[in-house]
Amino acid sequence: MKKYQIKLMSYFFIVLLTNCSLFQNRNHQYSEKLSRIFQAGINMGDASSFYNEFDDQLRRKLPPPALQAFLAKVKSFCGRINTMGEVTLEKDGGVFYPRFSSGNCLIKYTHDVNLKISNFIIKPYKVKIPTFIQNKDHTFTKRVKDISDYYFKHTKLVGMAIGIIEKGKLSYIYKGHQHFSKKTPINENSIFEIGSISKTFTAVMLADAILNNKISANTKIKTLLPILKRTPVQNISLSSLSLHVSGLPKLPDDLPHNSDPYGLYDEKQLINFFKKSKYSLKITKQNKVKYSNLGVALLGVGLEKIYNKTYEEILQENIAMKGELVASTSDIDLCNRKALAFGHANEVIVPHWTFKAFKATGGIYSNIVDMTHFLKNLFTKTGLLNKHLSIMLQYKEKDTNQSTAHLGIFSKKDLEQEFYWHNGGTGGFSSFYAYDPKGEFGIVILNNAYDSPITELGMKIMTGR
């Protein structure tokens, strides 16, 4: 081949690569612009910016009033867009996979040569998580890694720590950062708000009191808190509070609506709530599961009377010290501040929640190492708290979705599998744990974002589908 022919071919090859690069860069910049427009259109009802990106034909098909009504309908169905997620670019368009507050809906669009939207659709979709296939090369630990890797990539989480138990062996996975600015990575020391998983700790405290003959599961609240005699809660038993069959509402109606709703709500206010609502508090039918933070808060106050200690003292002396939990506490002032992860909601940092009377419902802070050891101590046959679990499982009431409530935990049947689980959430954190006693495997997931579907992830990991 002649020298000038080689040079000419090289020139065309360089031009081709340059054009491809320009095309990709142009489409990428346009997708970033559309990302902001789609989010503003749905979240704030900004139809005008959206409409301005239409080509002439689409403008005739979907005039501003119709577009405004359509965007409102999308928002009512899917909720607000928390984050636009990833985008798949195509030659004449692309597909966004945003995370909505009430579900997942994809946005697919096409554009003309002038980068004007010629068509778009918004429809629900499910995040496709790889199915676990049982063979000699797949362990539960590998299942957790494969599914969590895929999930973290496709849901744009801030940070996450996962503890794994498999045949008595413990391992950990860390993803993301303590802060969305990505300065400090999540590690074994990162402290999270575990939310309602605290209720499992509270149930262990109750079981410990029963095992040591301090009280019985049927002890009435009026026995521990005589001040509540002649109130609607006087004859409610301790077990019914932990089992969520007391009939009490989820929350008191005088709980403030602010960024730290439980921070100032103390025992005095809780007792006054029950005394003041003597004639107005409506207790629904008992022996039917009705999830109640209020009920577990009342149980927590009762436990403090049984032990004659604060909730924090019971936690440390009866659980943490026995199980070698070194970072778990219900007092945020005792946390290592450098290790304390930031909470997030809608990709914005939110204040930490603090607790007084409601510590028993969701007030514990912990790291993944402590939580995984807690799970092992509770659910494995040689665990230090396994006898407490026996007490907790004696009490049960059928819930919904193939789930059964026990003291501080739930059990779930899925085909031939049965496992125990609980989840939690605060203003900026979400959490999940589960353990399959027959398969001898389990997980704990701690995450520093309120709007993360961690329970969905956990259930998929446990069932493998």
Domain spans of the chain, in order of start: 3-124, 140-463
pLDDT by residue, tens only, the chain of 465 residues? 554 444 444 444 443 334 444 445 666 788 788 888 888 888 888 888 889 999 999 999 999 999 888 888 888 777 777 667 677 888 788 888 787 766 678 888 999 888 899 998 888 776 665 554 444 456 899 999 988 988 887 776 789 999 999 999 999 999 999 987 777 899 999 999 999 999 999 999 999 999 999 999 999 999 999 999 999 999 999 999 999 999 999 999 999 999 999 999 999 999 999 998 765 677 776 778 999 999 999 999 999 999 999 999 999 999 999 888 999 999 999 999 999 999 998 778 999 999 999 999 999 999 999 999 999 999 999 999 999 999 999 999 988 767 899 999 999 988 788 999 999 999 999 999 999 999 999 999 999 998 778 998 999 899 887
Check residue 291 and give its pLDDT.
94
pLDDT of residue 20: 42
CA distance 148 to 461: 8
* Helix spans in 167-292 (H): 198-211, 221-224, 238-242, 267-276
CATH code 3.40.710.10 for 140-463: yes
Please provide residue 430's backbone torsions phi and psi, each rounded to the nearest 5 degrees.
-145, 155
The pLDDT score that the predictor gives to residue 101 is 63
Phi, psi of 144 (to 5 degrees): -60, -45
Token output for 264? 């100032």
Write the CATH number of the domain with boundaries 3-124. Answer: 3.10.450
Six-digit token string for 173 = 């996975």
Q: To the nearest 10°, the Cα dihedral for 357, 361, 363, 367?
A: 160
Q: What are phi and psi of 94, to 5 degrees?
A: 180, 175
pLDDT of residue 85: 67
- Contacts of residue 169, defined as CB under 8 A and 6 or more positions apart, other chains included, come to none
This prediction's pTM: 0.77
Q: How many CB atoms lie within 10 A of CB 337?
A: 8
| Backbone torsions φ then ψ of 165, nearest 5 degrees | -115, 125
Tell me the backbone φ, ψ of residue 404, rounded to 5 degrees.
Answer: -125, 135
